[in-house]
Amino acid sequence: MHRNSEIFYNNIAQTSPYPLGITIEKAEGVYLYSPEGKEYIDLISGIGVSNIGHRHPKVIKAIKDQLDKHLHVMVYGEYIQYSSNNLAVKLNEVTPKNIDCFYFVNSGTEANEAALKLAKRYTQRTEIVSFKNSYHGNTHGSLSVSGNELKKNAFRPLLPDVRFIEFNKVEDLINITEKTAGVIIETIQGDAGVRIPNNSYLKKLRERCSEVGALLIIDEIQTGFGRTGAFWAFEHYGIVPDVLTMAKAMGGGLPIGCFAANKNIMDALSHDPILGHITTFGGNPVCCASSLATIEVIQEEKLLEKVELKGKLFEELLQHAAIIEIRRKGLLFAIEFESADLVNNIVQECISNGVICYWFLSNPHAFRIAPPLTISEDEIKKACTVIMQAINKYCN
């Protein structure tokens, strides 16, 4: 076994017995490169992270500029720092008017953990409502409101007073009551295999939350920062959240998350008790600089304008009788087949031939495509040729 592989398998904690095990030496744009120079088209953006591609020059410059000023200087919330201030101003431009206060953390699951605390603290209620087949992270609180029972059972007991209802089932909204502190929902259920809400469903959910005084927490960790062709996926459905969580693509490749709300709501965490939510590394100045540059790239390069066209091109090129269904919003895809084994064979074949697709945690019968928004039409055609060759190999 090569020395690097030996270290990886023996000294790096494993998340499964079957990691991809590809050695990556560098990345640029939509491409990853092995030490031997093998080229991979990254069709999953590092699982929703590299929306503007790998190592975008503007992001690299912003990181280097901040490195020349300072790194960590204090725990979150104590010092005034230009990097986090500037990011908050920019986020205020791209969020609804009622979302004007931003708490920077380190990851998506932390953002969701904090959002749950905020809902309980602000409403003085205890119940959280979530959705079957949802995914909100893997720390205890986020796992508690995720809907995959197989992933949860080994770690019980989890948070009490969590109720699950069916996504897209209007009749279930009656279960949101005056006892409910908050309802947490992915605008589009990602790891369930890109489950898209019906046209009026989110509006009815919004109405029900407002009716009973529950905070609507929208998790845009996978869909935010342009993935669906709007900056936030909830914009497609004519609603606004009370609390918004984000991460993944937020940092342009660096780890950062955020939960955001109206300042009147957010202030609930600052008293009774004070320091109601704290984090040492939240608002890291380098990550904030990278995040600001990421938003500017999305805006300046007008990346949202071509998301739908690129998504349609993928869909047109990926047609095969063996495909049961393609579920898509913008450049977020689930390609469904009849069995998990077939999906595994197709994904492995694609990777062997230089195109990286990946599975879903909660839907092994489909594989995901979520490329950088910067992917070109030629790169889409090149990748789809490889995918179709893999499908033909195992489905003809």
pLDDT confidence tier of residue 396, bands split at 50, 70 and 90: confident
The neighbouring-strand residues paired with 333 are 328, 369
pTM across the whole model: 0.97
d(C-alpha 382, C-alpha 389), whole Å: 11
Q: Which domains does the chain have, with CATH numbers?
A: 3-55+302-395 (3.90.1150.10), 57-300 (3.40.640.10)
pLDDT confidence tier of residue 1, bands split at 50, 70 and 90: low
d(C-alpha 181, C-alpha 170), whole Å: 19
Q: Which of 332, 297, 114 is nearest to 222 (CA)?
A: 332
User: For the residues of 87-104, what is the DSSP string, one character each?
Assistant: HHHHHHHHS-TT--EEEE
Contact in structure between 257 and 139 (CB atoms under 8 Å): no
Rounded to the nearest 10°, the torsion over CA 146, 99, 225, 85 is -120
Rounded to the nearest 10°, the torsion over CA 310, 316, 320, 326 is 60
Contact in structure between 176 and 114 (CB atoms under 8 Å): no
Instruction: Give the pLDDT score at 276.
Output: 95
Instruction: Give the pLDDT score at 90.
Output: 98
The neighbouring-strand residues paired with 165 are 131
Q: pLDDT digit string (tens) for 142-164?
A: 999 999 988 999 999 999 999 99
* pLDDT at residue 257 is higher than 90: yes
Instruction: Give the pLDDT score at 168.
Output: 97
Strand-pair category, 332-336 with 325-329: antiparallel
Q: pLDDT digit string (tens) for 104-122?
A: 999 999 999 999 999 999 9
Instruction: Give the pLDDT score at 361.
Output: 83
Pick the range with the lowest mean pLDDT from 7-11, 27-31, 79-83: 7-11
Instruction: Give the pLDDT score at 199.
Output: 85
Percent of residues, the chain, with pLDDT higher than 90? 96
Q: pLDDT digit string (tens) for 188-215?
A: 999 999 999 998 999 999 999 999 999 9
Q: pLDDT digit string (tens) for 297-349?
A: 999 999 999 999 999 999 999 999 999 999 999 999 999 999 999 999 999 99
Q: pLDDT digit string (tens) for 351-372?
A: 999 999 999 988 999 999 999 9
Q: What is the mean pLDDT of residues 127-131?
A: 98
Q: Give the burial string for 200-239 (b: 16+ CB within 10 Å, else e).
A: ebbeebbebbeebebbbbbbbbbbbbbbbbbbbbbbbbeb
* Average pLDDT taken over every residue of the chain: 97
Instruction: Give the pLDDT score at 170.
Output: 98
Percent of residues, the chain, with pLDDT higher than 70? 100
pLDDT confidence tier of residue 2, bands split at 50, 70 and 90: confident
d(C-alpha 294, C-alpha 225), whole Å: 9
Q: What is the mean pLDDT of residues 244-272?
A: 98
pLDDT confidence tier of residue 180, bands split at 50, 70 and 90: very high
Instruction: Give the pLDDT score at 383.
Output: 98
* pLDDT at residue 87 is higher than 70: yes
